[in-house]
Structure 1
């Protein structure tokens, strides 16, 4: 009886040993996304027109791009070197900041979507008439 009991016990140990030899689950790899360090020269401004409408303009001088947020929409524009001061455009829209006059237009329709005058720039204390 001892031999039968010993052989059954050894059989169970051998069987359980082979049954537990499944490949272990691969250890989960945890990667933490670290924000990329950029040395871009970024300027962010919010302008308000005389009606109270706001436009948010983010200019990346390193990549020569401008991102305009107006009425819940985002427009990505590329700086244009041919036009005066800071002007950026894409196939449909154009943003310009010339002497403190901010305009955002739809090019194909010659439609002004936003126009404002930047405070402090381009404004003089006295106005002189010329004849």
Structure 2
């Protein structure tokens, strides 16, 4: 009986070691979600008196403006030297100064879009009396 016990124990040890080796699970891949866009972006659509529509997307973080007009897209960079919000590239310039929105072609001084927004009335002005 002792002669049989040793081979049985060795057999059980070999069997248990091979039986425990099951295919390992694939490592769970954690996909990093795309970081949320933290840029400060404003998007406006303006329509002038002729019914022409311009779509202006301003990225304050990257200091860029994207203009969509007549099916074309224009990418412009903010100009710090010019007043209020003005963006331009080699050919085009967009400006939004005191409610006047202008998009023009610089080299020929041709205005492609212009809109003068009506100012909001603040009510009657109060004057101080002395």
Please indicate, yes or no, whether the TM-score normalized by the shorter chain is above 0.5. Answer: yes
SS at structure 2 position matched to 1:108: helix
Distance 1:125 1:90 in 2: 40
Q: Which residue of 2 aligns with 1:48?
A: 47
Q: Structure 1 residue runs of 4+, over 6 Å off?
A: 123-126
Whether the 8 Å contact between 1:77 and 1:89 is mirrored in structure 2 is: yes
| Distance verdict in 2 for CA 1:71–1:35, change over 3 Å | farther
TM-score, length-normalised on structure 2?
Answer: 0.66
Whole-Å separation in 1 of the counterparts to 2:119 and 2:93: 23
CA distance in 1 between counterparts of 2:114 and 2:41 reads: 22
**Map of 2:108 onto structure 1:** 109
| 1:43-97, Cα deviation, whole Å (9 max, x unpaired) | 0000111001000000000000000000000000000000000000000000000
The answer for unaligned runs of 5 or more in structure 2 is 1-30, 125-130
**Change in CA separation of 1:125 and 1:113 when aligned onto 2, cut-off 3 Å:** farther
CA displacement 1:81-126 (0-9 Å, x = unmatched) = 00000000000000000001000000000000000123446x7889
Q: Which runs of 5+ in 1 are unaligned?
A: 1-31, 127-131
**RMSD of the TM alignment (CA)?**
2.6
* CA displacement at 1:36 relative to structure 2: 3.7
